[in-house]
Amino acid sequence: MGYDVSNLAVDVRLIRERLVPYMRRATSDGLEDLVRDAARRQLVSYRASRWCERVVNLQHAIYADQAKAVREHAGAPPGEFSSQPVRGAGIPGFNAYQAQWGRPYFIEADDAEDALRELAAYEACDITDESAIDAVALRMLAKLDARRHLVGPEVRPEVRAVLDGFYPLAAHLPPEESVPDEAMTPDALMARMRRRLEQWRHIWECREDTTTEIDAEGFMWPEPASELVGSISYEILNLAAQVLPSWQNRGRVWPTALFERIGVDVSHVFETPASLFADLLRDFPMLQEKMRTTIHFNYSLGGYVPPEKTGLLVELLQKHRRALIFAWDEDPGDDDIEAFASDYQMILEPALLAVRKGYGFVEASEIQLWPAKEEPSEAG
């Protein structure tokens, strides 16, 4: 079974020294700097995603025009479909799934190092200057322009001719379709973050209460704190993800599952995330049953790599790169495997970031920056 998988480079001190003490009321720190930074990141991501949405819509337009060109070339009457397939269509080198949903922002990169540089560029942006966000997004379009030569030799001339007419891509982007969202304002986003923080501190305080039901955000129906508290470690990581970047995959593609699939033992690298929540576990030992070395359920944490072992994780990822990429697929046996490497990249990039920042690494399910990003449709 697969999940929406999240891979995070985790600031251990943020968890242990700020979020956990906040939940336990062991500090006077109101976390207002985190509240402000969460809103900033959410708004930067939102604007970058709107640029990516326009690229996805442009790709749909390209697909449509290419299909029309094939029909006309085949002499098919208007409104009838040709039996000849449109192969190799779309924007060369553009992975809509990865760009709009998999990475933290709209990022186009030739390798993991390039991706982390663009991540840093987005994270340096401020919501008071949208032109800075736009400049980074336009650089992504320029990278896509530079990949126009990646059109495969099997692409029909009339299909290629249509594609050529859409360059440079920035000059042909359709207008924004998104209606301004009242929830996407600094005040609204900060209020949401405060509300979520306060709600989980209240749940922790009432963890022995088996009768009073709480309508917790993200849960389908009200439940007593004694039932909700088992999710507090997951929720703390979810809150941390509002000020830390996360990468997304879908399927049985979390790191520990992939290593198990290819027969590589990583028990010396991955452990449970218990050390992140030591104070909570001491107060409430029943939380220990939620601590696992791999993902078992949706909306849960899996394995954790402490900062001193993230370098070893990167070494293993690089050593077993090809096997990990094809863990669930048949290896085509050629040298060009980049088209299959998206899920792998969504693990390698946060692992490298963890090494650079001195962070830990966590695999989880259903954790990402709010509001949850919608997955694109790549259909023509």
Domain boundaries in the chain?
A: 3-365
User: For 199, what's the count of Cα atoms within 13 Å in the CB-facing half-sphere?
Assistant: 22
- What gap in Å lies between CA 29 and CA 47, rounded to an integer? 30
- What gap in Å lies between CA 213 and CA 157, rounded to an integer? 64
Per-residue confidence in pLDDT tens, the chain, 380 aa: 578 999 999 999 999 999 999 999 999 999 999 999 999 999 999 999 999 999 999 999 999 999 888 888 877 666 555 555 555 568 999 999 999 899 999 999 999 999 999 999 999 999 889 999 999 999 999 999 999 999 988 889 999 999 999 999 999 999 987 666 778 899 999 999 999 999 999 999 999 999 999 999 988 899 999 999 999 999 999 999 999 999 999 999 999 999 999 999 999 999 999 999 999 999 999 999 999 999 999 999 999 999 999 999 999 999 999 999 999 887 877 777 887 899 999 999 999 999 999 999 999 999 988 875 555 555 44
Q: What is the pLDDT of residue 269?
A: 99
- What gap in Å lies between CA 78 and CA 167, rounded to an integer? 26
- What gap in Å lies between CA 243 and CA 357, rounded to an integer? 14
Q: What is the pLDDT of residue 379?
A: 46
Q: What is the pLDDT of residue 380?
A: 43
Structure tokens at 165: 């007419």
Region class of 376: left (phi > 0), else alpha (psi between -120 and 50), else beta: beta
The end-to-end CA distance of the chain, in Å, is: 28
| Core vs surface per residue 196-212: b (16+ CB within 10 A) or e | bbebbbebbebbebeee
Please state the pTM of the whole predicted model.
Answer: 0.93
- What gap in Å lies between CA 308 and CA 10, rounded to an integer? 13
